[in-house]
Amino acid sequence: MPVPVRLVGAAARAAGAAVFVVSVLTMQDSWRAGVSKREETALVTNGIYQISRNPAFLGFDLVHIGIGLMFFNWGLFAAVLFAGVMLHLQIVYVEEAFLTEAFGQEYLEYKKKVCRYLGRK
């Protein structure tokens, strides 16, 4: 892989790690790995969550894409694609359903304003 492509990969990986860390720090005590109906949590819509409903997953994706570009390998790309699809399905079918149930109209309004991964509507 040409050096410029590897540098783009390194930048994507670093940006992804930074996005992930910022998303965790912004969530503070509401941070969870997965969904737990037993634990009380708050709907976080400030900070980085104003431009992404799922910045941690966006960060994961950027890290995986960056690694794929740095160490071009078909097996690695297949693993990155598989991980990305699995994370997306978990968000769509598990996390968003949980948040709709837990926060109702507040989450639905937030969902109307902020894109799943990046941007405002």
Q: What are phi and psi of 40, to 5 degrees?
A: -75, 140
Question: For the segment 33-46, what is each residue's pLDDT rounded down to a tens digit?
Answer: 666 677 778 899 99
Where does 28-73 have alpha helices with state H?
Answer: 55-70
Q: What is the 3-state secondary structure (H, E, C) of 29-53?
A: HHCCCCCCCCCCCCCCCCHHHHCCC
**Looking at per-residue confidence, does 111 or 72 come out higher?**
111
- Mean pLDDT confidence for 43-52: 96
- Per-residue buried b or exposed e for 13-22, using 16+ beta carbons within 10 Å of the residue's own CB: bebbeebbeb
Question: For the segment 78-97, what is each residue's pLDDT rounded down to a tens digit?
Answer: 888 898 898 889 888 888 99
The residue count of the chain comes to 121
Using CA of residue 89, residue 95, residue 98, residue 99, what is the dihedral sign?
A: negative
Distance CA 111, CA 41 (A): 17
- Among the residue ranges 1-5, 16-20, 102-106, the one predicted with the least confidence is 1-5
